[in-house]
Amino acid sequence: MPAYLQLVRQVKEALRLGWLRPGDRLPTVRDVVASSGVNANTVLKAYRELEFAGLVEARQGSGTFVKAALGSVAPEVLDELRGELTGWVTRAREAGLEDEDIDALVRAVLGEGRVEVA
């Protein structure tokens, strides 16, 4: 997956999980470059993609700010589900599954990689 799409995905996940909310300021391009090592043009492309999707807005001289939220679940519900998922992941690891195994299992449950039988 291209680096700019990884950045877009990270921002969208943060929006869905409530870690970013409307009005929050995204890190500057310079800060993202310094912390991740990706090219400034890659970060700009990701921010433009998010802006095109209506999720953020660039304010000249002020930065890039979250414009819209994703997901509609209350934070306390997310916290409860996260706790349950943490317990499940702990049990899966105790059973010998590695992160890649867990990822494959979750994706299968979500319907990705489902093989249709004729």
Tell me: the pLDDT tens digits for 57-90?
A: 999 989 999 998 887 777 788 889 989 999 999 9
Total-model pTM:
0.70
Residues 95, 58 share a domain: no
Residues 83, 46 share a domain: no
- 115 falls within a domain: no
Q: 3-state class of 97 per DSSP?
A: coil
Tally of domains in the chain: 2
Counting residues of the chain whose pLDDT is more than 90, the rounded percentage is 65
Q: What is the pLDDT of residue 97?
A: 95
Residues 51, 29 share a domain: yes
Mean pLDDT calculated for residue range 20-24 = 92
Residues 83, 41 share a domain: no
Rg, Å, the chain Cα set: 18
Question: Rounded to the nearest 5 degrees, what angle is found at the Cα of 53, between the Cα atoms of 49 and 55?
Answer: 100
Counting residues of the chain whose pLDDT is more than 70, the rounded percentage is 94
